[in-house]
């Protein structure tokens, strides 16, 4: 048996990421924010596609999202707003990052 990591194809990667996606309240996200590893994805983006881009190290797509202000590292302004609003998030971990989208309430 080999100790080498198993390579997933694109569909398998997305399925794995989808299974690892879950809801997280701000109270649980705070410790990740304090470590500086929270990335906020715009609600217009597909969270699984963003996570896949991180997992595949797709710098081109990630940089495009950043340039279009659709993706950003969480900052103090985010944290202040979240502390006031206490939102829940869809989240997925692509180590070391925790990628989140705020769940909007209608």
Structural domain containing residue 50:
27-102
Judge contact between 41 and 47, C-beta under 8 A. Answer: yes
Are 100 and 39 contacting, i.e. CB atoms less than 8 angstroms apart?
yes
Q: 84: which DSSP letter?
A: H
* H/E stretch holding 41: strand 38-41
Q: Give dist(CA 44, CA 5) in Å, integer.
A: 32
In a domain, 18, yes or no: no
Q: Please report whether residue 75 resides in a domain.
A: yes
**pLDDT tens digits for 70-95?**
999 999 999 999 999 999 999 999 99
Note whether residue 56 is domain-resident: yes
Q: How confident is the model at residue 54 (pLDDT cuts 50, 70, 90)?
A: very high
Please report whether residue 67 resides in a domain. yes
Question: In the chain, how many domains are there?
Answer: 1
Q: Is residue 16 part of a domain?
A: no
What's the mean pLDDT in 88-103?
A: 96
pLDDT score of 104: 77
User: pLDDT tens digits, residue range 7-18?
Assistant: 778 899 999 999
Q: Is the pLDDT of residue 6 over 80?
A: no
Q: Which residue has the higher pLDDT, 28 or 104?
A: 28
- Please indicate, yes or no, if residue 19 is contained in any of the structural domains: no
Q: Answer whether residue 81 is part of any domain.
A: yes
Tokens, residue 100: 């989140």
Asked if residue 95 is part of any domain, the answer here is yes
Residue environment code for 58-86, b if the CB has 16+ CB neighbours within 10 A, otherwise e? eeeebeebeeeeebeebeeebbeebeeee
């Amino acid at each position: 048996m080999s100790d080498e990591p198993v390579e997933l194809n694109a569909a398998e990667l997305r399925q794995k990421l989808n299974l690892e996606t879950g809801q997280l309240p701000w109270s649980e996200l705070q410790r990740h924010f304090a470590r500086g590893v929270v990335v906020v994805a715009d609600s217009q983006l597909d969270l699984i596609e963003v996570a896949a881009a991180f997992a595949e190290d797709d710098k081109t797509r990630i940089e495009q999202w950043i340039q279009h202000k659709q993706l950003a590292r969480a900052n103090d302004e985010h944290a202040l707003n979240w502390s006031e609003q206490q939102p829940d998030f869809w989240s997925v971990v692509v180590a070391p990052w925790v990628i989140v989208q705020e769940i909007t309430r209608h």
